[in-house]
């Protein structure tokens, strides 16, 4: 319970869904629609992404095929 109370003292936290562990705590969150997070220990860097950038997920190949046919 103390760990949860400490978590809520900061404004934002990125939590891993698999084991619910806190990956990084932040005082603010980047104001972008899409960003890529790089982490080094407890330090996290968020780089904004353009609208045309593609996130790699299970639909990546389908999205690339659609863009290539245009």
> What whole-number distance in Å separates Cα of residue 70 and Cα of residue 50?
19
- 0.85 surpassed by pTM: no
pLDDT by residue (tens digit) across 46-64? 888 888 887 777 888 888 8
pLDDT by residue (tens digit) across 16-42? 888 988 887 777 777 777 888 887 877
pLDDT of residue 52: 83
pLDDT of residue 4: 59
> What whole-number distance in Å separates Cα of residue 5 and Cα of residue 27?
16
Query: Are the C-beta atoms of 44 and 37 separated by less than 8 Å?
Result: yes
pLDDT of residue 21: 86
Q: Which tokens sit at 70?
A: 């245009």
């Amino acid at each position: 319970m103390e760990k949860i109370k400490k978590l809520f003292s900061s404004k934002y936290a990125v939590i891993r869904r698999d084991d619910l562990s806190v990956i990084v705590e932040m005082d603010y969150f980047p104001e972008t629609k899409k960003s890529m997070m790089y982490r080094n220990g407890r330090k996290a860097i968020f780089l904004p992404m353009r609208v045309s950038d593609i996130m790699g997920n299970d639909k990546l190949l389908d999205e690339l095929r659609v863009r290539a046919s245009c």
